[in-house]
């Protein structure tokens, strides 16, 4: 049985009240990566003739997918990630046309501010050597030019600026709802509040997924896209990936008149200030004692809160801003700060992952979902997916990504 509803014209993903006993593919994780894979399988036409089930232990996006700043960019320091992000951006911009749902995409750009001459020079070098050849150059500005162009941002103590007009924002929840509702219409069983407790194997092959309160769904292929909860599921099978959860926090103010279209980043620290479409100021500063490696998202530190408020005042001034709330989520961080897609031949047959996005999950998920869907459905590895295989860790073929924000 399937039911759906809508709020102000925005569809919610139809969800299944009954799970099948057998499936062709089970996706574990209803965040951005898992939903994107289901969406891609639907677009491939696979879900119309095969049983695809997506399991999420809470509401869709319950993990880190709904705890993010809702931004996307194409500017990364590694060529692989820059190319990947360019392709993913194309797919983000397609979402309203494919699904009929507008996920509130705004190309407001990223504004990078620099405190040190050496880092500004390195950024300019990357612009000429990597981004311009890829067709996505940033606009380099002196600090005086930036102050004239962006008078609503305080430029004190900065020595230069760069603006990426290709970058933007998207409403993360609407984006996931758009893809999930499309997948459900095309035959994917969307099952929130269904917890995958265990992946069942036999003779080194995936045989099923044990679902809390249901029993085992018999299946031959499983995609684990469960964010920081991916590791525990894999470890029960003797599979270990070198990933770690890192807690990240965000400050949110009450809404104000909209004035900040750009996503403003202090390059040297990766700290940022932005504004949502609703008018809330969102911001984060580095943890004074370093980001904790934990899945505990309770009780942000007072030192972090004070440091982040100082950042807000530094960049946009004291506008009588009142903090409304704070929250924390996770980056699931790989050793090279690049995501992990597909499978290792040494794993049980039929086991795949889409994980380790290191803070870039929402922006990378549309293309990641497409590639891993092709990998699973067509049993081939697309060229753009090959650098991201889990085998790279023991082969020494890391994709070192130095441009990480937050």
Q: Are residues 258 and 325 in the same domain?
A: yes
Q: Residue 10 falls within a domain, yes or no?
A: no
Q: Are residues 317 and 252 in the same domain?
A: yes
3-state secondary structure of 282: strand
Q: Are residues 33 and 159 in the same domain?
A: no
Q: Residue 76 falls within a domain, yes or no?
A: no
pLDDT band of 335, cuts 50, 70, 90:
very high
pLDDT band of 14, cuts 50, 70, 90:
low
pLDDT band of 302, cuts 50, 70, 90:
confident
pLDDT band of 13, cuts 50, 70, 90:
low
pLDDT band of 213, cuts 50, 70, 90:
very high
Domain endpoint, select from 301, 329, 357: 329
Q: Residue 224 falls within a domain, yes or no?
A: yes
User: Where is 60: in which H helix or E strand?
Assistant: none
Q: What percent of the chain has pLDDT over 70?
A: 96
The answer to whether 293 and 246 have CB atoms below 8 angstroms apart is: yes
Whether 212 has a pLDDT exceeding 90, the answer reads yes
Q: Are residues 162 and 251 in the same domain?
A: yes
Q: Is the pLDDT higher at 1 or at 200? A: 200
Once rounded to an integer, what is the mean pLDDT over residues 380-405? 96
Q: Are residues 307 and 261 in the same domain?
A: yes
- Residues 264, 365, 311: CA angle, nearest 5 degrees: 20
Q: Residue 7 falls within a domain, yes or no?
A: no
Q: What is the pLDDT of residue 207?
A: 98
- Residues 250, 255, 256: CA angle, nearest 5 degrees: 120
pLDDT band of 247, cuts 50, 70, 90:
confident
Whether 5 has a pLDDT exceeding 80, the answer reads no
Q: Are residues 251 and 301 in the same domain?
A: yes
Q: Are residues 234 and 192 in the same domain?
A: yes
Once rounded to an integer, what is the mean pLDDT over residues 185-190? 94
Q: Which CATH number does the domain housing residue 148 bear? A: 3.30.9.10
Q: What is the pLDDT of residue 344?
A: 98
- The pLDDT tens digits of the residues spanning 121-132 come to 999 999 999 999
Q: Residue 80 falls within a domain, yes or no?
A: no
Instruction: Burial-class residue 290 by CB neighbours within 10 Å (0-12, 13-18, 19+).
Output: exposed
> Which of 57-61, 160-164, 172-176 has the highest mean predicted lDDT (pLDDT)?
160-164
As for how many domains the chain has, the answer is 2
pLDDT band of 330, cuts 50, 70, 90:
confident
- Cα gap 273→362, rounded to integer Å: 18
Domain endpoint, select from 279, 295, 329: 329
Domain endpoint, select from 312, 329, 346: 329
Q: What is the pLDDT of residue 9?
A: 45
Whether 33 has a pLDDT exceeding 70, the answer reads yes
Q: Residue 193 falls within a domain, yes or no?
A: yes
Q: What is the pLDDT of residue 6?
A: 41
Taking alpha carbons only, the member of 296, 321, 294 closest to residue 308 is 321
- Cα gap 76→162, rounded to integer Å: 14
Q: Residue 214 falls within a domain, yes or no?
A: yes
**Domain residue limits at 139:** 107-168+247-329
Least confident of 37-51, 201-215, 282-296: 282-296
Q: Which CATH number does the domain housing residue 376 bear? A: 3.50.50.60
**Chain-wide mean pLDDT for the chain?**
92
Taking alpha carbons only, the member of 67, 68, 167 closest to residue 112 is 167
Supply the Cα-derived Rg of the chain in whole angstroms: 21
Whether 26 has a pLDDT exceeding 60, the answer reads yes
Q: Are residues 158 and 253 in the same domain?
A: yes
Cβ neighbours of residue 383 closer than 8 Å, sequence gap 6 or more = none
- The pLDDT tens digits of the residues spanning 88-123 come to 999 999 999 999 998 999 999 999 999 999 999 999
For residue 265, the number of C-alpha atoms closer than 13 Å in the C-beta half-sphere is: 22
Q: Are residues 181 and 254 in the same domain?
A: no
pLDDT band of 309, cuts 50, 70, 90:
very high
Once rounded to an integer, what is the mean pLDDT over residues 31-37? 97
DSSP string, 37-52: HHHHHHHTTGGGTS-E
Residue 61 CA, distance from chain mean position = 11
Q: Are residues 23 and 163 in the same domain?
A: no
Q: Are residues 251 and 323 in the same domain?
A: yes
pLDDT band of 3, cuts 50, 70, 90:
very low
- Cα gap 210→207, rounded to integer Å: 10
Q: What is the pLDDT of residue 8?
A: 39
Whether 11 has a pLDDT exceeding 70, the answer reads no
Q: Which residue has the tokens 């869709």?
A: 60
Whether 7 has a pLDDT exceeding 50, the answer reads no
Pairing of strands 280-284, 244-255: antiparallel
Q: Are residues 308 and 257 in the same domain?
A: yes
The answer to whether 224 and 230 have CB atoms below 8 angstroms apart is: yes
Once rounded to an integer, what is the mean pLDDT over residues 383-389? 98
Taking alpha carbons only, the member of 406, 390, 221, 164 closest to residue 304 is 406
pLDDT band of 2, cuts 50, 70, 90:
very low
Q: What is the pLDDT of residue 169?
A: 96
pLDDT band of 288, cuts 50, 70, 90:
low
Q: Residue 388 falls within a domain, yes or no?
A: yes
Q: What is the pLDDT of residue 300?
A: 82
């Amino acid at each position: 049985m399937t039911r759906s509803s809508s709020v102000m014209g925005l569809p919610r993903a139809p969800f299944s009240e009954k799970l099948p006993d057998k499936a062709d593919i089970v996706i574990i994780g209803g965040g951005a990566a898992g939903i994107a894979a289901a969406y891609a399988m639907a677009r491939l036409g696979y879900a119309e003739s095969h049983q695809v089930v997506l399991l999420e232990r809470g509401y869709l996006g319950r993990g880190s997918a709904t705890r993010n700043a809702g931004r996307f960019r194409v500017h990364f320091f590694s060529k692989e990630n820059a190319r990947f992000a360019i392709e993913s951006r194309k797919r983000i911009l397609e979402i309203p046309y494919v699904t009929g749902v507008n996920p509130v995409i705004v190309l407001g750009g990223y504004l990078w501010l620099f405190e040190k001459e050496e880092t500004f020079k390195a950024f300019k070098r990357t612009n000429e050597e990597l981004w311009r050849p890829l067709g996505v150059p940033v606009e380099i500005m002196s600090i005086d030019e930036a102050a004239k162009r962006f008078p609503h941002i305080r430029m004190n103590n900065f020595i230069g600026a760069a603006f990426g007009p290709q970058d933007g924002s998207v409403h993360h929840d609407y984006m996931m709802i758009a893809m999930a509702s499309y997948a459900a219409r095309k035959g994917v069983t969307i099952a929130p509040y269904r917890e995958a407790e265990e992946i069942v194997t036999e003779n080194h092959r995936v045989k099923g997924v044990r679902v809390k309160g249901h029993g085992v769904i018999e299946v031959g292929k499983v995609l684990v896209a469960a964010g920081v909860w991916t590791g525990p599921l894999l470890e029960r099978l003797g599979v270990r990936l070198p990933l770690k959860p890192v807690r990240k926090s965000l400050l949110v103010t009450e809404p104000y008149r909209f004035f900040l279209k750009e996503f403003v980043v202090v390059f040297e620290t990766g700290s940022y200030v932005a504004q949502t479409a609703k008018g809330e100021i969102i911001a984060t500063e580095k943890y004074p004692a370093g980001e904790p490696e934990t899945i505990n998202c309770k009780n942000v530190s007072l030192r972090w809160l004070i440091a982040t408020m100082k950042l807000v005042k530094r960049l946009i001034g004291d506008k009588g801003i009142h903090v409304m709330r704070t929250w924390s989520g996770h980056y699931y961080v790989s050793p090279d700060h690049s995501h992990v897609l597909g499978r290792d031949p040494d794993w049980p047959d039929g086991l795949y992952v889409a994980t380790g996005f290191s803070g870039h999950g929402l922006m990378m998920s549309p293309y990641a979902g497409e590639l891993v869907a092709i990998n699973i459905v067509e049993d081939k590895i697309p060229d753009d997916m090959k650098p991201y295989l889990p085998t790279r860790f023991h082969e020494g073929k890391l994709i070192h990504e130095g441009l990480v924000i937050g």
